[in-house]
Chains A and B, each alone.
Chain A
Amino acid sequence: DAKTTQPTSMDCAEGRAANLPCNHSTISGNEYVYWYRQIHSQGPQYIIHGLKNNETNEMASLIITEDRKSSTLILPHATLRDTAVYYCIVRVNYGGATNKLIFGTGTLLAVQP
C-alpha cells in the first residue's frame, strides 16, 4: 500500500472549515483514499473514502486531485468535538483478499473555541 504524508498538527477555529491535507504521490490506480479519526483513546472512526471522484457524506467532504497524488478532507463547520487525530490511508480494495488498514501518525487537529 502507498505511503501517505500528513502534517503533524493543525489548528482550526470553532465554526470554521477544517481542511486537512494528505499527500500520496505513489498511489496506484486501484488504491482508494480512506480517512479515519481517533478521538483520544477511543477506537478509530471511519469518516469517508474515495477513488478519484470527490465524495461527500454527513460528516465530511473528500477532495481528490485529478492526478490522485493528494487529497483534502474538509470538515465544513468544525466543533470542539472534532478535535482528534485524523488518519489518511490508501488501500487497495480487492475482493477476496486482505483489506487491512496501515495507519501512519496522522494529523492532530485542535479545534479552538
Chain B
Amino acid sequence: DGGITQSPKYLFRKEGQNVTLSCEQNLNHDAMYWYRQDPGQGLRLIYYSQIVNDFQKGDIAEGYSVSREKKESFPLTVTSAQKNPTAFYLCASIRSLGGNTIYFGEGSWLTVV
C-alpha cells in the first residue's frame, strides 16, 4: 500500500547528540514537510521541500537540518543546537502545490534524556 513511513517510532537521545528521523513515501509526491507537535499546540512547520535537491525553512527551523536527495526521502536531523527537542514529529507529503490531500506519517516520538 502507498503511504508515508516514519522511523523510528520512539527515540531517546542524550543531550548534545544529533539524531536523524527518517521519512519515506511511495506516493510519488513532490512536496514533503516536517512538523513538530507539542501538547496543546498546533503543528508547527520545521522544513519543507517542493522538489528534489531543494528545501525551505519553516517557522521553527533553528536546530534542525534536512536533505532531499531523492524524491521519496526527506530525513530530518535534530541537532544539539535544538534547545528543546523533546516532541512528536510528523512528516507529511502532498502530490504538488494545489494537490488536495495532505498525507501524514505515523509520527516519531523524540525524548531527550
A-B complex is real: no
**Which A residues have a C-beta under 8 Å from some C-beta of B?**
none
